[in-house]
């Protein structure tokens, strides 16, 4: 009996020990597993926040450089093997305001004393004569009006011509000389609004094609202002004197009688244009217009 009791006690002790050992092992395994899972568990990636889509008109536009030319999606024409039509380059500022149907060439040397400005040859949009001054001659315009101005060389020649005419008993007066581009544009615009483009061009110059914008042209009348810039000026002693003597001072009657089909304007005996003495004499002696003298195709019928 004692031996059996002793064995039971031993087994109880062993059972208790095994139970305690298992409990300890379970406790240790649970703590170790929790710590291990903490080391290897990765935090979820930060949530990507997508900004709200802006309306098209508020989204910044990329320039061609930012887009990178090689990344541009080909057009359907290019994908089909056809060359895509290239957009035309915008016309420069000089050409932008020219209405369709007007064949105008911008002159290369607008400051030249012999520059040809007419219905097909236009001054640059931003051109302004470089040396405008007030000639010391009588004018029908108010004193210091900007339209009294002429370029320095033309103004000096005008003063000499007026003085010579006065010596011959002919008193002249300036009617209108230089016209700023903005003024000509406003003036022509009024005529177009009134009569339409086609008709307006028969009696007024399109902006940039008026000789008055060169600072080298002037309308002249008698000192009394009668028939100023009107057809009745033809045949007056002032008109006759100018036709006979103006070339001596570098001026010509720019729109002579019988040349309307070439100049595009009616006979204007009052409209004088400075081109320099040598050129003026050559033109008058030849009986030609500026267009003919410089070999330019007639511009109007």
Domain boundaries, the chain: 105-293
The pTM of this model reads 0.67
* Strands 121-122 vs 105-106: parallel, antiparallel or unpaired: parallel
pLDDT digits (tens, 9 = 90+) for 165-206: 999 999 999 999 999 999 999 999 999 999 998 888 888 899
pLDDT digits (tens, 9 = 90+) for 108-138: 999 999 999 999 999 998 999 999 999 999 9
Query: What's the rounded Cα separation, in Å, for the pair 241 and 92?
Result: 44
Q: Provide the pLDDT for residue 225.
A: 96
For range 80-101, the mean pLDDT: 42
Residue 114 CB partners (closer than 8 Å, separation 6+): 275, 276, 279, 294
Q: C-alpha angle with apex 104: 99 to 110, nearest 5 degrees? A: 125
Residue 231 CB partners (closer than 8 Å, separation 6+): 266, 267
Could you tell me the fold of the domain covering 105-293?
Muramoyl-pentapeptide Carboxypeptidase; domain 2 (3.30.1380)
Q: Provide the pLDDT for residue 151.
A: 98
Least confident of 44-48, 98-102, 173-177, 267-271: 44-48
- Residue pair 200/191 in contact (Cβ under 8 Å)? The answer is yes
**CB-side neighbour CA atoms (13 Å) of 210:** 28
Percent of the chain predicted with pLDDT > 90:
58
- Residue pair 293/259 in contact (Cβ under 8 Å)? The answer is no
Query: What's the rounded Cα separation, in Å, for the pair 240 and 254?
Result: 14
For range 268-293, the mean pLDDT: 97
């Amino acid at each position: 009996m004692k031996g059996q009791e002793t064995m039971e006690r031993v087994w109880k002790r062993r059972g208790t020990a095994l139970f305690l050992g298992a409990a300890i092992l379970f406790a240790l395994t649970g703590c170790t597993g929790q710590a291990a899972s903490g080391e290897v568990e990765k935090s979820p990636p930060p949530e990507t926040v997508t900004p709200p889509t802006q309306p098209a008109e508020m989204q910044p536009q990329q320039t061609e450089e930012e887009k990178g030319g090689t990344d541009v999606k080909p057009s359907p024409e290019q994908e089909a093997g056809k060359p895509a039509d290239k957009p035309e380059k915008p016309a420069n500022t000089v050409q932008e305001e020219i209405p369709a149907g007007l064949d105008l060439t911008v002159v290369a040397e607008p400051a030249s004393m012999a520059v040809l400005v007419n219905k097909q040859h236009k001054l640059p949009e931003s051109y302004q004569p470089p040396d405008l001054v007030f000639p010391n001659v009588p004018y029908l315009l108010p004193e210091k009006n900007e339209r009294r101005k002429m370029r320095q060389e033309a103004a000096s020649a005008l003063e000499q011509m007026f003085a010579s005419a006065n010596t011959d008993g002919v008193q002249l007066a300036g009617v209108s000389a230089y016209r700023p581009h903005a003024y000509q544009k406003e003036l022509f615009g009024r005529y177009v609004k009134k009569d339409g483009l086609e008709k307006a061009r028969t009696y007024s110059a399109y902006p940039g094609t008026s000789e008055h914008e060169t600072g080298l042209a002037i309308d002249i009348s008698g000192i009394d202002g009668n028939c100023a810039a009107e057809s009745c000026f033809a045949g007056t002693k002032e008109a006759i004197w100018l036709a006979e003597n103006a070339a001596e001072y570098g001026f010509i009657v720019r729109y002579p009688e019988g040349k309307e089909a070439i100049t595009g304007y009616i006979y204007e005996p009052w409209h004088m244009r400075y081109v320099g003495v040598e050129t003026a004499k050559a033109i008058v002696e030849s009986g030609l217009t500026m267009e003919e003298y410089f070999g330019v195709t007639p511009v109007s019928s």
